[in-house]
Structure formats: C-alpha cells, structure tokens
C-alpha cells in the first residue's frame, strides 16, 4: 500500500524543469492525499512556470512513477512557486543556462553588415548560415533587418514559430534555426516603429526565443549604421562581423562606414565578402566584371582584414517541391564558394 512517506520519496527525486533542481530541493511538493478505498493518489506540486509543455512532461512523469508504485489513479494540481522560493534557487542556476547574452554563453555571434542596401547582404547571410550547418555546426539566424525582413522568403519558409509557455520556438530549415520580424507581421504590412521599440524586439529575439545549444548565431543586420545596428553593437560587445560589399568603389566606400562603426564599438571584423564580383558566361566561360574591380580588396586594406570570398552573379537552382529561391545547393559552383567562406570563418574563430 502506498503511504505519504513513499509518495514523498518518489516525487522528491524528480527534476523541476526550469530551475534544474529536484522537487524536494525546492519544496515543490505542497500536498499529498490518498484515498485508500479507491487507491487514488492526489498531489499538489509547485514549479517555476505553469501552463507549459515542460509542466505537461513533468505531469506525465509523475503519473507514470506513481502508477508504477501501485496507485490506481492519480490526480495532479500545479501551482507556481512563491517568489521567495524562486529567488533562492534562481541565483544558483549556472550562467550557461541563463541565455545567449549571459557571460557563460558559448555561442559566437556573427553580424552580417553592409554600408548600403542592394549588395546581397541577406543572400550572404542565409547561405553562410546554411553552409555552416552543412559543416555540422549548430546554427541560428536572426533576421535583424526589421524594416526590410526577407530571410523567410529567401529560405522558402512557410511555417510560423510556435509558442511554448513563454518561449518562442524558432522555425528550422536546412538545419538552421530562424527567427524574423516577418513571422510576426500580417500580409507584408510596413513596420513603422521607432528606435526604442525596435530595440525591445531585438532583445526579445535574444532572450525569449528557445535557441537551445547553438555554436553560431548569425544576425542579418539592416544596411547602414542606424538604430538597429547601434542596438546590436551595444547588446553584443563580443560580436564578430562580416562586411558585404560589391566591387564598385562607391559601395566599398560606403561599406567602410559600417566597418568603422564595428571597430569603434570593439567588434572584431572577420573579413569581407565581395558579392556580385563578376558574371561568368555559361557559353564561353569568360568573366565580365559588371560592377568593376577592386572594391573588396580596397575595403579589406582599409579595415585591416581579408577578403573571405568573391561571389559571382548567378541564380540558385530550385524547384516547386523544395522552394528556396536564394539558397544555393552544395554542389552548385556558388554553393562551393559559400562552403569555402564558411570553412574560413570556422578556422578564424577556432584560432581565437
């Protein structure tokens, strides 16, 4: 026959899903009742957050454990732990469990920036993210270009993030976890927020999204040096940056501003990606330098860094079944260049 002491012993060893301690350690077992004639056990359990998927998992575990111990039926009520009990145990949570922005976080942030729009920054962002995932890395991507969000469309994402409790679950495609303002806007409506509101949305992307254990979090920044770029620089003091430009001297000149901003805020520039570097004829193999030459090299010299890769003007292969209009396949010539850039990025970061 089950006793209160036996039930207490069984429940005390179960882990609370948010504080990473046992129910016994957090005084989470608030009530135990037994109806002997029906062999029915009812318990009241307190946890950090109720109404979540984690609560449902714990509920299933409790029911299974008590039935294995001899209970015919089990009733469970959940309550939230008192604030004083929460504070007592929050302080003991390892820094690594406190989110991407905690000092203990092992995630490397990589911002993809440009001085102006139209240079293919978002195309570079999505393909670099996918290439890093193809190398076996755990990758997240934030579409931080909040006014000009395009990442979901470029990657062919049609799903929306799910909400589990108070956490947002990012959408995964090609092995990359993705979050974008585009997921939260209906019918492509324009965004007319001011700077502080944009900063709050970015902060939510960092702190309220369930990223899990990721090696790299890429941020597709808006072009230029406006409010969002400033917020990123202040929120992420140890961020790395890749600057995207075209070979045109004017584009490189403008991109230098984004690079200078990164250096002033102590962000480390990993390198330059020169996009639309040339057009290669499929018939003759001849390269035409549509936007000129030298912009990437000049920018790299000015920012004391290197050119990570030069990308041609080319169209990815895609079909209606696996629609992703901006993602290059791994065996595509441009896809191979992206893989080379990803390998250089990993090598550079491994040396840090």
Q: Residue by residue, what is the 3-state secondary structure of the chain?
A: CCCHHHHHHHHHCCECCCCCCECCCCCCEEEEEEECCCCEEEEEEEECCCCCHHHHHHHHHHHHHHHHCCCCEEEEEEEECCHHHHHHHHCCCCHHHCCCCCCCCCCEEEEEECCCCCCCHHHHHHHHHHHHHHCCCCEEEEECCCCCCCHHHHCCCCCCCEEECCEEECEEECCEEEEEHHHHCCCCCCCCCCHHHHHHHHHHHHHCECCCCCCEEEEECCCCCCHHHHHHHHHCCCCEEEEEECCCHHHHHHHHHHHHHHHHCCCEEEEEEECCCCEECCCCCCEECCCCCCHHHHHHHHCCCCEEEECCCCCCCCCCCCCCCCCCCCCCHHHHHHHHHHHHHHHHHHCC
Mean pLDDT within 97-123: 79
Q: What pLDDT sits at residue 120? A: 87
Domain limit, last residue, from 93, 113, 140 = 93
Mean pLDDT within 27-54: 87
Q: Are residues 68 and 128 in the same domain?
A: no
Q: What pLDDT sits at residue 95? A: 45
Q: Are residues 81 and 136 in the same domain?
A: no
Q: How does residue 168 score in pLDDT terms, banded at 50, 70 and 90?
A: confident
Q: Are residues 131 and 157 in the same domain?
A: yes
Q: What pLDDT sits at residue 195? A: 52
Q: Are residues 74 and 133 in the same domain?
A: no
Among 116-120, 294-298, 336-340, the range of highest mean pLDDT: 336-340
Q: Are residues 46 and 166 in the same domain?
A: no
Q: Are residues 246 and 344 in the same domain?
A: yes
Q: Are residues 37 and 182 in the same domain?
A: no
pLDDT > 90: what percent of the chain? 39
Q: How does residue 113 score in pLDDT terms, banded at 50, 70 and 90?
A: confident
Q: Is the model's pLDDT at 89 over the cut of 80?
A: no
Domain limit, last residue, from 68, 93, 118 = 93
CATH number for position 75: 3.30.300.130
CATH number for position 277: 3.40.50.300
Q: Are residues 215 and 154 in the same domain?
A: yes
Q: How does residue 97 score in pLDDT terms, banded at 50, 70 and 90?
A: very low
Q: Are residues 110 and 169 in the same domain?
A: yes
Q: What pLDDT sits at residue 141? A: 96
Q: Which pTM does this prediction carry?
A: 0.70
Q: What pLDDT sits at residue 49? A: 79
Of 161 and 128, the one with more pLDDT = 128
Mean pLDDT within 278-301: 88
Q: Are residues 104 and 149 in the same domain?
A: yes
Q: Is the model's pLDDT at 276 over the cut of 70?
A: yes
Q: Is the model's pLDDT at 187 over the cut of 80?
A: no
Q: What pLDDT sits at residue 149? A: 83
Count of structural domains within the chain: 2
Domain limit, last residue, from 46, 72, 93 = 93
Mean pLDDT within 25-40: 90
Q: Are residues 60 and 204 in the same domain?
A: no
What does pLDDT average to over the chain? 84
Q: Are residues 291 and 331 in the same domain?
A: yes
Domain with 36, as residue range(s), is: 4-93
Predicted confidence (pLDDT) per residue in 188-223, tens digit: 555 555 555 566 677 778 888 889 889 999 999 877
Q: What pLDDT sits at residue 96? A: 41
Of 90 and 314, the one with more pLDDT = 314
């Amino acid at each position: 026959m089950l006793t209160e002491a036996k039930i207490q012993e069984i429940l005390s060893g179960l882990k609370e899903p948010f504080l990473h301690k046992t129910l016994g350690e957090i005084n989470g077992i608030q009530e135990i009742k037994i109806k002997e004639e029906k062999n029915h056990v009812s318990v009241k359990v307190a946890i950090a957050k109720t109404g979540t998927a984690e609560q449902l998992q714990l509920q299933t575990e409790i029911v299974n454990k008590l039935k294995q111990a001899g209970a015919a039926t089990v009733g469970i009520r959940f309550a939230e732990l008192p604030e004083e009990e929460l504070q007592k145990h929050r302080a003991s949570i390892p820094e690594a469990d406190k989110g991407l922005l905690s000092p203990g976080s092992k995630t490397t942030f990589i911002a993809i920036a440009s001085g102006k729009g139209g240079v293919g920054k978002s195309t570079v962002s999505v393909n670099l993210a996918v290439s890093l995932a193809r190398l076996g890395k755990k990758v997240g991507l934030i579409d931080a270009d909040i006014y000009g969000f395009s990442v979901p469309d470029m990657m062919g994402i049609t799903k929306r993030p799910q909400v589990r409790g108070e956490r947002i679950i990012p959408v995964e495609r090609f092995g990359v976890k993705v979050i974008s303002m585009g997921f939260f806007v209906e019918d492509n409506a324009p965004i007319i927020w001011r700077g502080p509101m944009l900063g709050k949305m970015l902060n939510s992307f960092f702190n309220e999204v369930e990223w899990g254990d990721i090696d790299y979090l890429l941020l597709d920044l808006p072009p230029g040096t406006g409010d969002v770029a400033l917020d990123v620089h202040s929120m992420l003091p140890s961020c790395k940056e890749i600057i995207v430009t075209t070979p045109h001297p004017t584009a490189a000149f403008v991109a230098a501003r984004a690079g200078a901003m990164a250096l002033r805020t102590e962000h480390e520039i990993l390198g330059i990606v020169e996009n639309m570097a040339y057009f290669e004829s499929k018939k003759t193999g001849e390269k035409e330098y549509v936007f000129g030459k030298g912009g990437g090299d000049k920018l790299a010299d000015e920012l004391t860094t290197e050119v990570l890769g030069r990308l041609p003007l080319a169209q990815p292969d895609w079909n209606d079944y696996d629609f992703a209009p901006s993602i290059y396949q791994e065996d595509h010539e441009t896809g191979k260049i992206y893989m080379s850039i990803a390998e250089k990025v990993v090598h550079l970061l491994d040396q840090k």
